[in-house]
Amino acid sequence: MNHFLAISDLSSGEVQDLLDLAIKLKEEYFKKGNPPLFKGKVLGMIFQKPSLRTRVSFDMAMRHCGGDALYLSPNEIGLGKRESIADISRVLSGYVQALMARVFDHEHVLELAKWSSIPVVNGLSDYNHPCQGMADALTIQEKFGKAKGLNVTFVGDGNNVAVSLMHVSAKLGWNFTIGNPEGYDINPKAVEIAQNIAKETGSKLNFVRDPHEAVKGAHVIYTDTWTSMGQEEETAKREKVFPPYQVNAGLVSEADKDVIVMHCLPAHRNHELTDDVADGPHSVIFPQAHNRLHAQKAILARLFGVA
C-alpha cells in the first residue's frame, strides 16, 4: 500500500491481511506491549473536523509502537485556503513520515495523496470513513470469525460510515443491507463499486426503506447519527424524518438472537440509538471504538513497511 484512502482500493486478501495483522498487534499489546515498530517515525495529523476517537487512537497507536504524532489544527493549516493543498502536502512530506487527514471534502485527501511523497491515510471524509470500516470489520470478526455470508445491516442515513461498511462487507463476502428513508441513499458511485466487488465475492447487497425488513436475520445492526458534521442546518428536517429508524429494543428483537449492535460514535442517545440498547447485552460500541487503535496500527505498519 502507498496510501490508505478507501477500502475499495484494496483486494479482499489485503483487507483480510490487515485484519489478521490487527488481531496479532492487539494480542501482542495486551500480552507484553508492542515492539517499537514505528521508532523514528512521526505521523502528521491534519484535522478539519474535531474528533475524540480519531485523534487519540492514531496518537496512541504511534506511541504504543515507539513513534510520535503531531496534531495540526484547522487554524494552523487552513487546508486549501491559507495555502494550497499541493504545497502543504509537499512541505509536510519533508517533515514527517506519514500523514493522516480528517477532512470534509474527499477531494482534499485525494489531493494530499497526489502530491505527497509519504503515505497518506484518510481519517474521514464526507465520502467515506475507511479507518472506521476496518475497526468495524475487526469487531465483527472477533465476534463471528471469518465466516462468509454474515448479514450486516445499517439503519439510518446512507453516509460516509455506511459507504465503508458496505465496501468492507462486500470485500469479506458478507451480505450488506441498508434501511434508510427516501432522499438519504448511499452515494450511487459507492454502490456501483460495491456491486462490482460483490460479483467477485458473492456478497449480496440489499437497499430497502423499511427498517424492520432491513434487520430480519441480521447478525449485525449498525447505526450512526442522523445529522453528521457539516449538516447542522438540516437538523430540524432530519429530526422529523429519522425517528422510525431508531435502533431500540423492539427493532433489535427482530434480528438474529446473537445480533451485535454497533455505532461509530459519538452517539446522540435516545435518538438513533436508545440507552437500553447502547448499554445492553447486544452492544459492542465500546470494544468497537477501542478497535480503532489496533486496526490503525495495522494500517500504519503496512504503510511504513515494518510488519
pLDDT in tens, 105-155: 999 999 999 999 999 999 999 999 999 999 999 999 999 999 999 999 999
What's this model's pTM, rounded to 2 decimal places?
Answer: 0.97
Distances (CA, A) of 121 to 25, 43, 110, 112: 19, 10, 10, 10
Pair type for strands 68-72 and 42-47: parallel
- Comparing 46-50, 85-89, 107-111, 270-274, the range with the smallest average pLDDT is 46-50
What average pLDDT does the structure give for the chain?
96
- Examine the residue annotation and report whether 3 is marked as an active-site residue of this protein: no
* Whether 154 contacts 211, CB under 8 Å: no
pLDDT band at 227 (very low <50, low <70, confident <90, very high): confident
- Examine the residue annotation and report whether 90 is marked as an active-site residue of this protein: no
- Examine the residue annotation and report whether 48 is marked as an active-site residue of this protein: no
How much is the pLDDT for 76?
Answer: 84
Distances (CA, A) of 25 to 19, 29, 35, 76: 10, 6, 9, 33
Task: Say whether 218 sits in a helix, a strand or coil.
Answer: coil
The residue from 48, 219, 224, 288 that is catalytic is 224
Asked, for residue 281, whether it belongs to a domain, the answer is: yes
The residue from 292, 294, 296, 302 that is catalytic is 292
Shared-domain flag, residues 158 and 245 = yes
Query: ∠261-228-165 over CA atoms, to 5°?
Result: 45
Type of residue at 91: V
How much is the pLDDT for 12?
Answer: 98
Percentages helix, strand, coil for the chain (3-state, rounded to 5) are 45, 15, 35
Residue 77: which CATH number?
Answer: 3.40.50.1370
Shared-domain flag, residues 158 and 282 = yes
- Comparing 3-7, 146-150, 188-192, 203-207, the range with the smallest average pLDDT is 146-150
Distances (CA, A) of 3 to 25, 77, 218, 223, 231: 20, 21, 33, 28, 28
Domain that holds residue 36: 7-129+292-304
Asked, for residue 2, whether it belongs to a domain, the answer is: no
* Whether 101 contacts 124, CB under 8 Å: no
Number of domains in the chain: 2
How much is the pLDDT for 132?
Answer: 98
- Whole-number Å distance between alpha carbons of 17 and 12: 9
Shared-domain flag, residues 160 and 236 = yes
- Examine the residue annotation and report whether 292 is marked as an active-site residue of this protein: yes
pLDDT over 80 (residue 264): yes
The residue from 106, 108, 129, 271 that is catalytic is 129
Task: Say whether 99 sits in a helix, a strand or coil.
Answer: strand
How much is the pLDDT for 77?
Answer: 85
- Examine the residue annotation and report whether 82 is marked as an active-site residue of this protein: no
Type of residue at 164: S
Shared-domain flag, residues 103 and 141 = no
Give the tens place of pLDDT for each residue, 46-71: 999 889 999 999 999 999 999 999 99
The residue from 3, 53, 64, 102 that is catalytic is 102
- Examine the residue annotation and report whether 63 is marked as an active-site residue of this protein: no
Element (H, E) at 232: none
- Whole-number Å distance between alpha carbons of 109 and 133: 17
Type of residue at 192: E
Shared-domain flag, residues 120 and 138 = no
Asked, for residue 43, whether it belongs to a domain, the answer is: yes
